[in-house]
Structure 1
Amino acid sequence: MTDRVPDRIFHVATAADWRRTLETGTYTTSTVGRTLAEEGYIHASRRDQVQGVFDRYYAGLGEDLVLLSIDPARLTEAEVRVEPVGDDTYPHVYGPINRLAVVDVTPLNRRGGRETLMSLWLKGMALRMGIAIAVMLVIALAVLLVRRP
């Protein structure tokens, strides 16, 4: 436990919230279902805290998630404060996170681990194959119905 701001802080975000950031230039979601305006700060964590945060708040959410790696030195409109939460301390970002402060964005799997390019490709292929099979079944059914006397 330390009161010093780490060189990197982390935040689990929905992919939808991150896409909005790419459009607007700033990230303002505090945590699941809460904005910076509602909460007063954006929840963040040290790397060693990410899995616990994921397990407590994001597991089973059912949305695509990403892990934002944030360089506090690049924040232009926000201050990071390390504050006590229970028996530990967590970094809190007081203000919006500007896009350039996010130095890495990693897709997360349903267990909070990093998605690999292969797993993302396989998921995409499975989806496309499922759609193709469904279309073929509909066409086969339509052909059978048309051929009926």
Structure 2
Amino acid sequence: MATIFHLALASDWAAAQESGAYTTSTLGRTLAEEGFIHASRADQWTAVRERFYGDVSEPLVLLQIDTDLLDVPVVEEPAVPGGSETFPHIYGRLSATAVVKAIPLSAAAEAPAAAPVAAAAAAAVVPTTSAQPTESFSRIYFREMFFNMAMLCIVLALGTIGGLLGGWIGGLAGVAAGGVIAVVLYRRRHAKPTLA
């Protein structure tokens, strides 16, 4: 799974959830106008927020997108012609099912007086399962990395035990069993919430 990110107005994301597809390219520009949807890697989205969304007082959400779930191409391209830094660009509508998390971002930096109202509005329109509005991106990132490393350790441990008990065939069986367990645990952890 490759993960990319897109900053969105909470109202745009709420509309996309109803329609099933997100078609905003960037702040004030549609997919039809731009030709693609701007996205960022994990190390880029905070700078994008500061540069392009610093004056936005509306609630924002950070969309975490699994590129394996997209049915349109993602192309790494320079932000400006001849530029050295590339960004992922999504060439087509972003299916709401490809968004694995929608993390409300605090609006305190943008509008101090309206921060409680903005945070409540973001929480009301964006269902999330594990992210709190005040939780930092680095905390979320390291928690996911720790979980992924734990899944790898399960696979390696079962492969080693299988190898010790049954030679290379036992090792393969152990790796297969560990892989199945890791996939089941991963899917449980990242299951989409059902709305009642």
Q: Which residues of structure 1 form unaligned runs of 5+?
A: 1-5, 113-118, 125-149
Partner of 2:60: 65
CA RMSD of aligned residues (A): 2.0
Give the secondary structure class of the aligned counterpart of 1:47.
coil
- Which amino acid in 2 is paired with 1:94? Y
Alpha-carbon deviation of 1:120? 6.0
Partner of 1:106: 103
Provide the C-alpha distance between the structure 1 equivalents of 2:23 and 2:34, rounded to a whole number of angstroms. Answer: 10
Matches within 5 A, 1:121-132: 124=120
1:34 to 29, 50, 54: 29
Alpha-carbon deviation of 1:60? 1.7
Query: Residue deviations 1:8-62, cap 9 Å, x none?
Result: 0000000000000111000000000100000000000001001100001001211
Partner of 2:133: none
Query: Residue deviations 1:68-116, cap 9 Å, x none?
Result: 000111012x11000122220100000000011000000011349xxxx
Normalised TM-score (structure 1) = 0.69
Provide the C-alpha distance between the structure 2 equivalents of 1:101 and 1:120, rounded to a whole number of angstroms. Answer: 29
Provide the C-alpha distance between the structure 1 equivalents of 2:29 and 2:78, rounded to a whole number of angstroms. Answer: 20
Comparing both structures, which one devotes a greater share of its residues to helix? 2
Q: Which gives a bigger RCO, structure 1 or 2 (Cα 8 Å, sep 6+)?
A: 1
Provide the C-alpha distance between the structure 2 equivalents of 1:46 and 1:75, rounded to a whole number of angstroms. Answer: 16
Matches within 5 A, 1:1-149: 7-76=2-71, 78-85=72-79, 86-110=83-107, 111=109, 124=120
Q: Which residues of structure 2 form unaligned runs of 5+?
A: 121-196
What count of residue pairs does the alignment treat as equivalent?
111
Calculate percent identity across the aligned residue pairs: 49
- Which amino acid in 2 is paired with 1:27? Y
